[in-house]
Structure 1
Amino acid sequence: MPFRIFCRVLGLVLCANALTMYFVLHSIRAATFTTLACSLFLQVAYFGSVLFLVWRSGCTRRAGQKARHCGSCGEVRHDSPDHKKGEE
């Protein structure tokens, strides 16, 4: 999601939260407090999701490297000393 759209959606959610809390509680102070708490929660959730995506991409990259490495191991042949003795 582009950053501009994310900021617009975040602002829309926070405004909706502030208006809802004001109409429910009839207090500007409580609406401000809950809106700030909601903002903090959304930022922590966004940061956590970014960390999760970075972790997941690292896991898939490592799994791909392991698969590539194991595939190349099958092409290498190792002759044992016993095998060489039989050829002589």
Structure 2
Amino acid sequence: MFCRVLGVVLCSTALTVYFASHSIGTVVVTTLACSLLLQLAYFASVLFLIWRDSRVGQRAEHFGSCKEVGSEPPDLDEVNESADLLQRNQMRAISLLLP
């Protein structure tokens, strides 16, 4: 799906630039620049998702460690499961970055 959208965006950019300038050199440079910007945006969005996921995990740990009067301490199994889930999500996001 991502490759199809990338191909459509790059082809439409190339056609638009060619009809506007009638220059193959300008088409190549503009298409490469567009490709670079799309890759940077994709990379930044993956980093943002990793950052947001780590903040959610920190927030969950914070609320789990809050002590109210008459409440019981958090179950260690639940804490370990949350940490395992966070680690799996981070590894999944990192695997998206690697070829």
TM-score normalized with structure 2 length: 0.67
Give the AA of the match of 1:54: I
Residue number in structure 2 paired with 1:59: 55
Please show how residues 6-85 of structure 1 align to structure 2 within 5 Å: 6-71=2-67, 75=71
* Identity rate, percent: 53
Instruction: Tell me how far apart the structure 2 counterparts of residues 33 and 18 of structure 1 sit (CA, whole Å).
Output: 10
> What's the CA shift for 1:72?
7.2
Provide Cα deviations, 1:1-45, integer angstroms capped at 9, x if missing partner.
xxxx01100010000000000000100110110000000000001
Q: Tell me: CA distance 1:74–1:18, structure 2 relative to 1, closer, same or farther (3 Å).
A: farther
Instruction: Tell me how far apart the structure 1 counterparts of residues 23 and 9 of structure 2 sit (CA, whole Å).
Output: 19
Instruction: Tell me how far apart the structure 2 counterparts of residues 13 and 37 of structure 1 sit (CA, whole Å).
Output: 12
Q: 1 or 2 for the larger relative contact order (CA 8 Å, sep ≥6)? A: 2
Instruction: Tell me how far apart the structure 1 counterparts of residues 69 and 34 of structure 2 sit (CA, whole Å).
Output: 52
TM-score normalized with structure 1 length: 0.76
Query: Greater Rg, structure 1 or structure 2?
Result: 1
Instruction: Tell me how far apart the structure 1 counterparts of residues 11 and 69 of structure 2 sit (CA, whole Å).
Output: 58
Unaligned 5+ runs, structure 2: 73-99
RMSD: 1.7
Unaligned 5+ runs, structure 1: 77-88
Count residues with an aligned counterpart. 72
